[in-house]
Amino acid sequence: MSPHRPPVTETNSAVVDRTPSALELERRAFRARSSRRSVLISLASTVVFAALVAVFVVGTPGWRSVQETFFDPEVLVAAWPRVIEGLWLNIRVLVVASIGVAIVGVLLASVRTLRGPIFFPLRLLAAAYTDVFRGMPLLIVLYLVGFGIPGLGLFPRMPMEFWGTVALVLTYSAYVAEVLRAGIEAVHPSQRLAARSLGLGYIASLRLVILPQALRKVTPALMNDFVSMQKDVGLISVLGAVDAVRAAQIETSASYNFTPYVLAGLLFVALALPTIRLTDWLTARQREREQHGSVV
Amino acid sequence: MSASTADSATPVLRLENVVKTFGDRVVLAGIDLTVDAHEVIALIGASGSGKSTLLRTINLLEQVDDGRVLLTGTDITDPRIDADAVRARFGTVFQHYNLFPHLTVLDNVTLALRHVHGVGKAAAAARGLELLDRVGLADFARSYPDRLSGGQQQRVAIVRALASGPEVLLLDEITSALDPELVGEVLELVRDLGASGTTILMATHEMAFARDVATRVVFLDAGVIREEGTPDQIFGAPRDPRTRAFLDRVTSAGRGAAPDDTTAG
Residues of B in contact with A4 (CB under 8 A): 136, 139, 152
pLDDT at site A12 = 47
Kindly state whether residues B82 and B108 are assigned to the same domain.
Answer: no
- The alpha carbon torsion through A15, A17, A20, A24 (nearest 10 deg) reads 40
The answer, yes or no, to whether residue B129 has pLDDT greater than 90, is yes
pLDDT at site A285 = 82
Closest approach of chain B CAs to the CA of A6, in angstroms? 9
Task: Specify if B2 maps to a domain.
Answer: no
Closest approach of chain B CAs to the CA of A284, in angstroms? 19
Kindly state whether B135 is in contact with chain A, defined as any CB-CB distance less than 8 angstroms: yes
Kindly state whether residues B160 and B175 are assigned to the same domain.
Answer: no
The answer, yes or no, to whether residue B256 has pLDDT greater than 50, is no
Task: Specify if B1 maps to a domain.
Answer: no
* Number of domains composing chain B: 2
pLDDT digits (tens, 9 = 90+) for B141-194: 999 998 999 999 999 999 999 999 999 999 999 999 898 888 999 999 999 999
Q: Give the span between the Cα atoms of A248 and A262, in whole angstroms.
A: 9
Is A199 in contact with B112 (Cβ distance < 8 A)? Answer: yes
Residues of B in contact with A2 (CB under 8 A): 136, 151, 184-185, 188
Kindly state whether residues B184 and B85 are assigned to the same domain.
Answer: yes
Q: Between B188 and A11, name the one with better pLDDT.
A: B188
pLDDT digits (tens, 9 = 90+) for B11-40: 999 999 999 999 999 999 999 999 999 999
Q: What mean pLDDT comes out for the span B122-137?
A: 95
The three-class DSSP label of residue A285 is helix
Q: What mean pLDDT comes out for the span A134-154?
A: 92
Is B100 in contact with A196 (Cβ distance < 8 A)? Answer: no
Kindly state whether residues B249 and B189 are assigned to the same domain.
Answer: yes
Closest approach of chain A CAs to the CA of B102, in angstroms? 6
pLDDT at site A265 = 94
pLDDT at site B107 = 97
Kindly state whether residues B202 and B104 are assigned to the same domain.
Answer: no
CB–CB of A246/A240 below 8 Å?
A: yes
Kindly state whether residues B190 and B60 are assigned to the same domain.
Answer: yes
Kindly state whether B213 is in contact with chain A, defined as any CB-CB distance less than 8 angstroms: no
The string of DSSP letters for B61-79 reads: SS--SEEEEEETTEETT-T
Closest in A8, A199, A213 to B84, CB measured: A199
Task: Specify if B4 maps to a domain.
Answer: no
Q: Is the ipTM of this complex over 0.90?
A: no
Q: What mean pLDDT comes out for the span A55-82?
A: 89
Residues 150-209 of B with CB under 8 A from A: 151-152, 160, 164, 184-185, 188-189
Kindly state whether B87 is in contact with chain A, defined as any CB-CB distance less than 8 angstroms: yes
CB–CB of A220/A283 below 8 Å?
A: yes
Residues of B in contact with A6 (CB under 8 A): none
Is B164 in contact with A199 (Cβ distance < 8 A)? Answer: yes
Kindly state whether residues B174 and B83 are assigned to the same domain.
Answer: yes
Q: What share of chain B is helix, strand, coil (3-state, %, to 5)?
A: 35, 20, 40
Tell which of B166, B187, B213 closes a domain: B166
Closest in B100, B147, B152 to A209, CB measured: B100
Is B98 in contact with A194 (Cβ distance < 8 A)? Answer: yes
Q: What mean pLDDT comes out for the span A241-252?
A: 93
Closest in B61, B85, B184 to A193, CB measured: B61
Beta-sheet pairing, B40-44 with B25-35: unpaired
pLDDT digits (tens, 9 = 90+) for A155-183: 888 899 999 999 999 999 999 999 999 99
The answer, yes or no, to whether residue A143 has pLDDT greater than 80, is yes
Is B112 in contact with A200 (Cβ distance < 8 A)? Answer: yes
Interface test with B, best of A2, A187, A205 (most B CBs within 10 A): A2
Is B92 in contact with A197 (Cβ distance < 8 A)? Answer: yes
pLDDT at site B2 = 44
Domain of B177, CATH number, reads 3.40.50.300
pLDDT at site A295 = 63
Question: Average pLDDT of chain B?
Answer: 90
CB–CB of B223/B26 below 8 Å?
A: yes
pLDDT at site A292 = 59
Is A198 in contact with B185 (Cβ distance < 8 A)? Answer: no
Q: Is B143 left (phi over 0), alpha (psi -120 to 50) or beta?
A: beta
Q: Residue A289's closest chain B neighbor by CA?
A: B146
Kindly state whether residues B46 and B141 are assigned to the same domain.
Answer: no
pLDDT at site B1 = 43
pLDDT at site A87 = 95
Q: Is B38 left (phi over 0), alpha (psi -120 to 50) or beta?
A: left
pLDDT at site A169 = 97
Q: What mean pLDDT comes out for the span A264-281?
A: 91
Task: Specify if B265 maps to a domain.
Answer: no
Kindly state whether residues B179 and B72 are assigned to the same domain.
Answer: yes
Is B184 in contact with A2 (Cβ distance < 8 A)? Answer: yes
Residues of B in contact with A8 (CB under 8 A): 147
Show me where the domains of chain A are located. 22-55, 73-289
Residues of B in contact with A196 (CB under 8 A): 61, 84, 87
pLDDT at site A115 = 81
Q: Between A15 and A74, name the one with better pLDDT.
A: A74
Domain A73-289 belongs to what architecture?
Orthogonal Bundle (1.10)
Kindly state whether residues B81 and B108 are assigned to the same domain.
Answer: no
Closest approach of chain B CAs to the CA of A222, in angstroms? 19
Q: What is the DSSP letter of A118?
A: G
The answer, yes or no, to whether residue B76 has pLDDT greater than 70, is yes
The three-class DSSP label of residue B229 is strand
Task: Specify if B33 maps to a domain.
Answer: yes
Tell which of B108, B142, B166 closes a domain: B166
Closest in B94, B102, B148 to A194, CB measured: B94
Q: Give the span between the Cα atoms of A244 and A241, in whole angstroms.
A: 9
Q: What mean pLDDT comes out for the span A78-105?
A: 95
B224-229 β-sheet, strand order: B90-93, B168-172, B200-203, B40-44, B216-221, B224-229
Kindly state whether residues B172 and B246 are assigned to the same domain.
Answer: yes
pLDDT at site A155 = 84
The answer, yes or no, to whether residue B262 has pLDDT greater than 80, is no
Of B16, B35, B30, B160, which Cα lies nearest the Cα of B88? B160
pLDDT at site A117 = 85
pLDDT digits (tens, 9 = 90+) for A215-244: 988 998 999 999 999 999 999 999 989 999
Kindly state whether residues B127 and B24 are assigned to the same domain.
Answer: no
Interface test with B, best of A197, A202, A205, A217 (most B CBs within 10 A): A197
The answer, yes or no, to whether residue A283 has pLDDT greater than 50, is yes
Q: What mean pLDDT comes out for the span B214-235?
A: 95
Tell which of B122, B150, B166 closes a domain: B166
Q: Between B265 and B244, name the one with better pLDDT.
A: B244
Containing structural domain, residue B134: 98-166
Residues of A in contact with B148 (CB under 8 A): 5
What is the percentage of chain B residues whose pLDDT exceeds 70? 92
Residues of A in contact with B98 (CB under 8 A): 190-191, 193-194
Q: Which of A57-66, B32-41, B84-93 has the lowest mean pLDDT?
A: A57-66
The answer, yes or no, to whether residue A287 has pLDDT greater than 90, is no
pLDDT at site A290 = 65
Show Cβ contacts of residue B3 under 8 Å, excluding neighbours closer than 6 positions. B165, B166, B167
